[in-house]
Chain A
Amino acid sequence: NAGVTQTPKFRILKIGQSMTLQCAQDMNHNYMYWYRQDPGMGLKLIYYSVGAGITDKGEVPNGYNVSRSTTEDFPLRLELAAPSQTSVYFCASKLGRELFFGEGSRLTVL
């Protein structure tokens, strides 16, 4: 099992560009999450999904969109990148009450 796989690992965007961070898990977990991590701020929940076709906002959803067409995939889309979205993004899936994290995607918006 690969666990939770995120791509890309690093990306530099220009202000106003769009991109999608990919997240895939092969553990058949229903719950999936996107967090962003900023220095001194911990992890903030952006969006989460309790199963295919169902998504909901977390604490900091503005500027992001998600979809969940399959159990395996949970992509995060940035439509108009802004410098405030410079961060490290972590995808996670959940079994029971334990989260399993991907290795993160470092995004810089210049």
Chain B
Amino acid sequence: AQSVSQHNHHVILSEAASLELGCNYSYGGTVNLFWYVQYPGQHLQLLLKYFSGDPLVKGIKGFEAEFIKSKFSFNLRKPSVQWSDTAEYFCAAYTGTASKLTFGTGTRLQVTL
């Protein structure tokens, strides 16, 4: 069965530090990849998505992610985090029929002033 792994469960950064959150998926065929963000007490919102084409994807709020097919990875990056980026981040993937989205376990990001 397809799976999505996020190895960083809790990350603490100071403001202005650079961010990279890992995401790996297990599927050898066509894959669609997403990063969602959940701010405290809120629902999930889409940060960015990759379907095909340029493997470097830019999303909202200065986030970007790079699809590396050979590594089955889709890591999320931001050059300089802000306190307002404190949230939980979820990687997700469609494989095959694209009817069911599989989520990773999430990474809780805490940004300190």
Contact = CB atoms under 8 A, between A and B. Distances in A.
B101 interface: yes
Contacts of B34: 98
B51 A101 contact: no
B100 A101 contact: no
Interface residues of A, number: 20
B104 A98 contact: no
A40 to B, nearest CB: 6
29 contacts: A33-B100, A33-B101, A35-B103, A40-B9, A40-B105, A40-B106, A42-B90, A42-B104, A42-B105, A42-B106, A43-B44, A43-B90, A43-B103, A44-B103, A45-B101, A48-B99, A48-B100, A90-B43, A90-B44, A97-B49, A97-B51, A99-B44, A99-B46, A99-B101, A101-B43, A101-B45, A102-B43, A103-B43, A104-B43
